Chain A
Amino acid sequence: GNSVTQMEGPVTLSEEAFLTINCTYTATGYPSLFWYVQYPGEGLQLLLKATKADDKGSNKGFEATYRKETTSFHLEKGSVQVSDSAVYFCALSRTGRRALTFGSGTRLQVQP
């Protein structure tokens, strides 16, 4: 079946540090891959997505590249801010499917 594995948190960084949150997946076929973010007191929001191999999704300074050979979709940001503190979820969706399969989430804490 489909599954998503992401690194456990919390990840604690100082402001302006480099961020990587690892995500790997198992799926049949060629899924689409997503990163969602949940800020305190808010609902899940789509951060970025990639729909085919070697695509790079980007938004708000965050990037992730769809690596089929390593079945990975790691989230990166060059310089984090305190306002990036949130829980980040990696997710996939199989072609033609509307439902998302999520990882367990990684909490990011950025300290000033």
Chain B
Amino acid sequence: GAGVSQSPRYKVAKRGQDVALRCDPISGHVSLFWYQQALGQGPEFLTYFQNEAQLDKSGLPSDRFFAERPEGSVSTLKIQRTQKEDSAVYLCASSLYVRDASGNTIYFGEGSWLTVV
């Protein structure tokens, strides 16, 4: 597709369930990001991939959060044993280059809305 595609768009999980969120970046984009956006807040950085390598996972809030991008294209964000505080929109973004943000336009998907009940 033309843009960053995320699925599912909406997910309701019972507390304690595992969830997996998928991101299809723009074809050919080297860089891939995951952000978490709580209600009424701005997005917060979770993790960054350059191709298949996860170069920065400093924003992952706990070891229940795990992300992968095994072939350097599609990425999955997995949350184990979900808690209510995990309820948020999870945004995926991609960019063509590996430059820093000042010289590298980042394209965002519409997000996956996760509600933990």
A and B co-occur in one complex = yes
* A-to-B contact residues, CB < 8 Å: 4, 32, 34, 36, 41-46, 49, 51, 89, 91, 93, 95-105
Chain B: minimal CB distance from A97 (Å) = 6
Residue B25 is within 8 A (CB to CB) of chain A in the complex: no
Q: Is B41 in contact with A98, judged by CB distance below 8 angstroms?
A: no
- Asked whether A91 and B100 contact (CB < 8 A) given A41-B110, A99-B48, the answer is no
Residue B109 is within 8 A (CB to CB) of chain A in the complex: yes
- Give the chain B neighbours of A102 by CB distance below 8 A: 42-44
- Asked whether A99 and B108 contact (CB < 8 A) given A91-B42, A105-B41, the answer is no
Summed over the interface, the residue pairs from A and B with CB atoms below 8 Å come to a total of 67
17 additional A-B pairs beyond A44-B91, A105-B40, beta carbons within 8 Å, are A42-B110, A43-B91, A43-B109, A43-B110, A46-B106, A93-B101, A93-B102, A95-B102, A96-B100, A97-B100, A98-B101, A98-B104, A99-B48, A99-B56, A100-B106, A102-B43, A105-B42
Q: For the complex, what is the distance from the CA of A96 to the CA of B45, rounded to whole Å?
A: 15
Q: Is B3 in contact with A99, judged by CB distance below 8 angstroms?
A: no
- From A43, A93, A104, A105, B3 is in contact (CB under 8 Å) with A43
- Asked whether A51 and B102 contact (CB < 8 A) given A44-B91, A98-B33, A105-B41, the answer is yes
